[in-house]
């Protein structure tokens, strides 16, 4: 699994890299995000071009991923159009550029043309419209990777909880289509072992069943906003990463022994559905 951690703090990026996080993400997405995710308690970052350069200077083993804004023209506040935004983050040293919230083939194509092979590309599939585009010629196949975003995907399907698409078969259908295209794909986010509204252990096992190869480390993986001591943060990162890697080894062994439809993974699928139902029940109270 490739794990992604979002930060614009160089000292945290260095810790994440040192503890085995595969990708450090500078998150520049702000256009439209607050409006569509209103009330979801999601992270609303607005990192800058300067943050890209700052993080580039401190990481040399982890990949630098930048989530840019959805396809847009120049904004009223003077923020540049997509082509300039993408050009600037690539020139600042980005390894991977991620496009969020695309709905049309034209948007995905405009993104891929702007990158023009200068960095790896990830399409963040997080709308029902994007799911329907999987078979569009030149979109899915042209991108290097796909990441399935659960927050906006759940909103797009008029669901109340981000893990509903993962428990009701929606994400599984998307994954099957992506495998038909031979694509590498990741899914949503994950907490540290023993934490999360849906325990990280259940989520990671489902990743393996579905063939996912990546996840974003959520705020609850290590809530750095409440911890001032970098040594404590490093210990928390290190412990959590060891726990995830140990569980990966277990999942890989069960895959070899049983395959993705073996009892180990199917029982976990049932546990995921039950946990989601419990969360929804609590929301109704």
Domain ranges of the chain: 2-284
pLDDT at 40: 52
Q: What is the mean pLDDT of each run of 10 residues along the chain (285 residues)?
A: 97 97 97 69 78 98 98 93 98 98 95 97 96 82 95 95 96 96 95 93 98 93 81 94 98 97 98 97 90
**C-alpha dihedral (45, 280, 3, 259), degrees to nearest 10:** -160
Beta strands in the chain (DSSP E): 2-6, 23-27, 63-67, 96-99, 120-125, 145-148, 184-187, 189-190, 214-217
CATH class of 2-284: alpha beta
How far apart, in whole angstroms, are the C-alpha atoms of residue 29 and residue 36? 13
Q: Is the pTM of this model over 0.85?
A: yes
pLDDT at 285: 81
pLDDT at 222: 75
Neighbour count for residue 122 (Cβ, 10 Å): 24
pLDDT at 41: 53
How far apart, in whole angstroms, are the C-alpha atoms of residue 174 and residue 193? 26
Q: β-strand 23-27 against 2-6: which pairing, if any?
A: parallel
């Amino acid at each position: 699994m490739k794990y992604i951690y979002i930060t614009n703090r160089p000292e945290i990026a260095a810790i994440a890299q040192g503890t085995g996080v595969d990708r450090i993400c500078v998150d520049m997405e702000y256009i439209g995000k607050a409006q569509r995710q209103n009330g979801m308690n999601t992270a609303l970052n607005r990192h800058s071009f300067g943050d890209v350069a700052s993080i580039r200077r401190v990481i040399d083993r982890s990949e630098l991923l930048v989530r840019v804004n959805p396809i847009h023209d120049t904004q009223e506040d003077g923020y540049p159009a997509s082509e300039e935004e993408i050009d600037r983050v690539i020139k600042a040293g980005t390894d991977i550029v991620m496009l969020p919230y695309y709905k049309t083939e034209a948007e995905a194509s405009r993104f891929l043309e702007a990158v023009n092979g200068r960095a790896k590309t990830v399409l963040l599939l997080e709308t029902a419209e994007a799911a329907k585009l999987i078979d569009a010629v030149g979109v899915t196949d042209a991108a290097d990777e796909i990441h399935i975003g659960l927050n906006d995907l759940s909103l797009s399907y008029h669901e109340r909880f981000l893990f509903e698409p993962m428990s009701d078969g929606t994400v599984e259908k998307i994954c099957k289509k992506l495998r038909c295209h031979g694509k590498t794909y990741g899914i949503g986010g994950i907490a540290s072992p023993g934490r999360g509204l849906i325990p990280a252990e259940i989520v990671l096992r489902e990743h393996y069943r579905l063939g996912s190869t990546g996840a974003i480390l959520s705020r609850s993986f290590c809530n750095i906003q409440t911890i001032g001591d970098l040594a404590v943060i490093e210990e928390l990162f290190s412990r959590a990463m060891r726990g995830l890697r140990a569980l990966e080894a277990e999942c890989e062994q069960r895959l070899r022994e049983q395959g993705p439809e073996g009892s180990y993974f199917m029982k976990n699928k049932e546990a995921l559905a039950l946990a989601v139902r419990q969360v929804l029940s609590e929301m109704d109270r």
